[in-house]
Each structure stands twice: as C-alpha cells, then as structure tokens.
Structure 1
C-alpha cells in the first residue's frame, strides 16, 4: 500500500467527522419556526448546494440493487450483496415533482444524533441536516434522446457516503450523462434502505486489512452495477434502461473510489474511460498500466504512485494538479465546509486554500471536457496546455 494512501486511511477516523459534514449544504441561513405572534425559535442552520452548470434539468431516483451471485463480504451468513445507488439523469421539466434531498432522512438523523455531536462538536438540532435539497427532481421523466445518454459510474472515498458526490453527479447529468452513484454498504458511514432501515459501517477507519478488502469489494460492487446498467441484471426502472447508451461507459471516483476506478477499468473493458480524483493507486494496475484514456486530478501534493502509474499507461493520459486544494476539495465539501466554517466555526483545512467557486468550476470543466472527448467525440484544447481560464490547474509529468 502506498504511504500516501496509508496516511489518508489512517487519518480517516478523525477526518470522517468532517467528511460527514457533506450532508450540510452551503448558504448559512437559520431556519425559523414561528411559535406565537412575534416569537420565533431558531431550529437549526439551513444551507444549500450550488447549482449544476449544464443546460439540462436533472432528475434522480434511488434504487436498491441485490447481487445474489455472491455473499456479503461484511456480514457473515448473508448469501447476497445489497447496495443502494442513486441514478442522476437529464430530465424533462417536471415542476410538480419534489426536489430530492441531499441526504436521506435516516442518515441525516443519524448524523445529527451521533457523528455531529461526537466528532464535530455540533449539538443536536444546531444544524438542520435534513433540510438540504439538491437541484434534481425525484422520479422526474427522463428527457428523451435518440440513442440514449453515456453512462458514468461514481464511487466515493473510503467510509464516505455517495451523497458527497452529488455536485459531480448533478453537473454531469445537466450536461447529458446518466450518472450512477454507489454506496458501498457496510463500508459507507451509513446507508439508508427502503422501509426505514439504516446500515452503518462495519469497517475500521484505521485498519489496513479492512481498507484493502474494501477495495476488492468495491471493484466487485462496481462490476455488478455495470451488469445492471448493461441489462445483464434487472434492477433499474425501464424508462431509465431505455435512456442508456451502454456502449459509452466511464467511471469516476474520489480517493479509494479513484483507485477502484483504475482497477475496474483494468478488469472490465466495458469501461471506456476513467477519472481518478486524488486517489492513491497500487497493485497490478499500477505496474501494468492501462490502454484506455485516463484522467487524474490531484490535490496540492505529490503522490509517488501516480508517477509509476503514469509511466505504464499507454492510452490517452493527463495528470493535473489543483493548486491550493486538499484531499476533500474533490467532494461536495469543497462547497460546503468554507460556509460551514463561517457559520459554525468548523475548521476548513480539509478543503485547502483554493477558492471554492473556482475549484468547483475547474473540476467541472476538466472532467466534463475529458468525458465529452472520450465518450462523445467532442474535441477540446483544454488538455493541450495550461489554460488562462483556470490558472489554478497545472500539468504533471
């Protein structure tokens, strides 16, 4: 295991508290309930997420998937593997449909009652964790498109819920992609299933063995989701299945999700392109490389595994560094923590010193340009040289 990744995993027990702040959205305005004429009570800070930048409305739907071909690796005696995913897609305008929550209600309640007080020093009720909304309409009709939309699988970081990838998922959906974000059950901090069931993490934040096992499990999870997407298994609503162009599939991952993306692309040639957001790499894929196109975006630090991997990659490749960024700059926390810091006094070091608005704009531009190039054949000059539009982004190697 690379030393850089070991440090990130080892520090996660402390960082997890701040990671879970992803449930908290961005504008610091308190929620006020009027209890009597002239008397108001502050019930918790309410915040919001920045909007996606593409032209299309977005829909989303949560889906429970069951893989009966393998036992659950974390629960002894359970003969199947169970996952929750969210599908984000270009939608027809549906103003009557409700806007989806950023965090499922049981996960929000669990955060308020346990993680926030214990790890953040935020008292229960001080933040209205359940109040945040995305910009996607729940179960909105799919926007019709001849031939369907390219598909992107998203895998989050170690012990990180899929909700932390909402900004990336919504933005790509608004640009004409179907994005499937995956919760890796019993590794993610908390996963809510239909029927009011909450499953918490069973891995240890400081365990190298658990982390290495989790990476293998993730690749199997993603291959199963890919089977579902390519209709080898049922699971997605029929309207969504008809909207997918399964000849154009990419994977995108943050941290361990980035490592899983490289492993997935190495193992499964249905994945045509990959993006690693600040994940350390190791194992066979690092030594043998990839033939397909692969983009990497790094925080403002060096990772030795990237140089080894870069030398072995034979396909299209670019490795970029975002000046002033930290590891969690590549999650929703980039937008959320700075505003939380000003509203609640939560430290913001985990997202660095880069301006959050510019950081998000740069990430969106480069990830979308890469996927447009590789999956849609749209030419771009963005990867030819450093761009004056994004001076924070430097080229590595």
Structure 2
C-alpha cells in the first residue's frame, strides 16, 4: 500500500510495504549537480494568493497513532484570494521538516535543509478577500507533508477558491505542531498491519469532518466560505481518503482521487455525487491497480476517469518540480515536471469549476488536442 520516495535514476515513488526507502542505485555518471532554490510555478488565476496556518485540536477523540495523546492535534494550511500583492512569501517547509522528509525518503544527494529554501507565491498571513467562496480540502500522500501540494493549492486560490490542506499528524515524516514540536511518522511502524489502509482513510475522514466543522463555524474568517460549495481532492492515500470522507460526510459535494489506490468501500447503493479519478498509467482499467475498476461501477453520478500518459505517482505533486534542486535525474520518459503540474492544475480546476461553480468545461467532455496526454477511460484506454 505504501507509496515511498525512492531514487531510480530519478525521483519517483514506488510501491513498497516497508517504511524506509531503498538505497539509491549508483550510476557511472553520478548524480547531477544540484541547482539553486526552486520557485514554484506562478499561479494562473486572477487573484494574488495569501496563506496562513491553523493549529486545531479535536478533544472528542484520541490520536489514532499516539497512545499518549488524548486528543487529535492537526495542522491546517489555508490558501485564499487576497488583494495584497506584496509581502513576505510563506515558507515551503521548515528546515527540520525538510531534513526529516529527505532522511525518511532515503535522499542523501543534497543538504537536508534544501527543500526549505523552495520559493512559494503566497503572501504569509495576508488579509483574505472575498466572501462565500467555494472551499477545497486537500489531503497529501502517506509520509508526505501538505506542502508537497502547494503548487496546486496556490493555483486554486488564485482562481478564487479557499483551500484547506490538512497535515494528518503522525502520517508524514514531519509535522510541526503549535508548540514547535515536530511530530514524526508513528504510522510508519504499522503500515504492514492487516487493514492498515482502510483504517488510515477512516481516520483521515474524521480529520476532514472535524476541520470542516471548525472552518465553517469558529474560524475568524468563516464567512469567507460557502458551506454549500465544498469539495475535496487528494493524492495517493489522500485520494483514497477523499472517497472515505465523501461516504462519511455529505457536505463534500464533489471529489477527486489523484493516483490513489482506494480502500474505503462505497455502499452498494452507490455514491451519486460528482467524482473524478485522475491518474498515471498504473490506473488504466485492468491495470496493476484494480480498485478503480471496482469503484467505478459504484459511482452513480457524474464521473470521469482520466489517465495521463507518461505520468508517474508523484506527477500530481510538487516533487518532480524539485528534482533539479536535489541533484536527481528524472525518470527516463517521465512526463516533464512543469507539464505534469500544468495538466494537474487544468483538470482539477475544470472539475471544480464545473461542480462548485456550474461553469461548462469542455476540457472534461473528451480528448483535447491541447492536452494529448489525457486519455478518457474506460472507453478509450485499456491495460498497458
């Protein structure tokens, strides 16, 4: 079930059951020389982007991973439209978070604080602009911090969405809590247990419902959110958690799974709210992962199943954008990092605009000459 960061002539996530990534293979040429700090792609929408961080505590339940914690502590990063164009840019992650992420992922080709120097586009703690905007919840892959979906989050905020990214504590290599402590990946010790994936996505669904409760009621800027227009998207296990959260919480009107094997079972009566699978070739019908074949039949509302040619598991995250700074060659034949980010942004935004704003989106109607990498399944694609 685990998707782990590994080196195989480049940075890729490979399916594995162990918590530690395998050592990278050596090549005669050696790794390329790392470059300077990366600047994330500029958002494509009309609005400047602000961001802030909330630390929330759910006292109604214990932490599912830490037996010594009698409450669930969550870090939530918010991105939103603002009128403020100038100001301090938000940090991508802290130096300690970057160190723990690279150590946990088995990357040793660059100084451990390298990723913390990544440049973002959002103004830290800027004043939000707007009222009753649609909300999108984002959930990252297992072991990965929410920051690895920053490029997508910034782009959606520039298009007029409020984005709430959840760091699911103890499910990533590093999450900085409100008191400055850094919570590490306790869940990594259990990921080979029977039923681990199913249990994890149910826990994430509970995280999402709690965050929605707080954002729409007690958050000081809750009037920024339209409670009737809420969607969720996630990558890898975050995509699986999207299914689980939609089954549990009817407030989530639409959902996207980006390359995640699903674990939550959809009721036999089906899930009638809009849903989109957006994935790599491992998710073609009859491919290596059969969970989408199973769940496709139970999606009874508007639905799409789109596979991107030459994408790999991390093409829907920031990670390919960071390979140069880590001194790592991309996988041969892999979808170029900038193009992967462009396609992810385009299809996610089109889906959300259609289902939260009722705007017609021809991009979702079928193959496009401007986006030849996108194949619409199951009709026009099959096993590799």
What are the equivalent positions in structure 2 for 1:8-87 lying under 5 Å apart? 8-10=15-17, 13-14=20-21, 29-30=35-36, 46-87=37-78
Q: Are 2:192 and 1:207 aligned?
A: yes
TM-score normalised per structure 2:
0.85
Find the aligned partners of 2:151 and 2:309 in 1 and give their Cα distance.
Answer: 20
State the Cα distance separating 1:129 from its structure 2 match: 3.1
Deviations 1:121-175 (A, max 9, x none): 23546x6332222100011011134xx2100011111111111110111110010
Find the aligned partners of 1:175 and 1:91 in 2 and give their Cα distance.
Answer: 11
Find the aligned partners of 1:110 and 1:207 in 2 and give their Cα distance.
Answer: 21
What are the equivalent positions in structure 2 for 1:366-377 lying under 5 Å apart? 366-377=347-358
Give the counterpart of 2:360 among 366, 379, 397. 379
* Structure 1 runs not aligned, ≥5 long: 18-26, 31-45
Find the aligned partners of 1:322 and 1:16 in 2 and give their Cα distance.
Answer: 28
Q: Are 2:83 and 1:92 aligned?
A: yes
Find the aligned partners of 2:297 and 2:198 in 1 and give their Cα distance.
Answer: 24
Find the aligned partners of 1:347 and 1:292 in 2 and give their Cα distance.
Answer: 40
Give the counterpart of 1:180 among 164, 167, 175. 164
Q: Are 2:301 and 1:315 aligned?
A: yes
Q: Which residue of 2 aligns with 1:121?
A: 108
> Is the 8 Å Cα contact of residues 165 and 332 (structure 1) preserved in structure 2?
yes
State the Cα distance separating 1:323 from its structure 2 match: 0.1
Q: Which residue of 1 aligns with 2:178?
A: 194
State the Cα distance separating 1:352 from its structure 2 match: 6.0
Give the counterpart of 1:107 among 97, 104, 128. 97
Q: Are 2:148 and 1:158 aligned?
A: no
Q: Which residue of 1 aligns with 2:215?
A: 229
> Is the 8 Å Cα contact of residues 144 and 173 (structure 2) preserved in structure 1?
yes
> Is the 8 Å Cα contact of residues 201 and 263 (structure 2) preserved in structure 1?
no
Q: Which residue of 2 aligns with 1:22?
A: none
What are the equivalent positions in structure 2 for 1:310-389 lying under 5 Å apart? 310-337=296-323, 339-340=324-325, 344=327, 346-349=328-331, 353-389=334-370
Q: Which residue of 2 aligns with 1:241?
A: 222
TM-score normalised per structure 1:
0.82
Q: Are 2:275 and 1:294 aligned?
A: yes
User: Which of 201-210 and 380-389 deviates more?
Assistant: 201-210
Q: Are 2:127 and 1:141 aligned?
A: yes
Find the aligned partners of 1:281 and 1:128 in 2 and give their Cα distance.
Answer: 33
Q: Which residue of 1 aligns with 2:11?
A: none
What are the equivalent positions in structure 2 for 1:256-271 lying under 5 Å apart? 256-271=237-252
Distance 1:152 1:352, change over 3 A: farther
> Is the 8 Å Cα contact of residues 286 and 305 (structure 1) preserved in structure 2?
no
What are the equivalent positions in structure 2 for 1:247-258 lying under 5 Å apart? 247-258=228-239
Find the aligned partners of 1:298 and 1:319 in 2 and give their Cα distance.
Answer: 8
Specify the SS of the correspondent of 1:152.
Answer: strand
User: Which of 352-361 and 51-60 deviates more?
Assistant: 352-361
Q: How many residues align?
A: 353
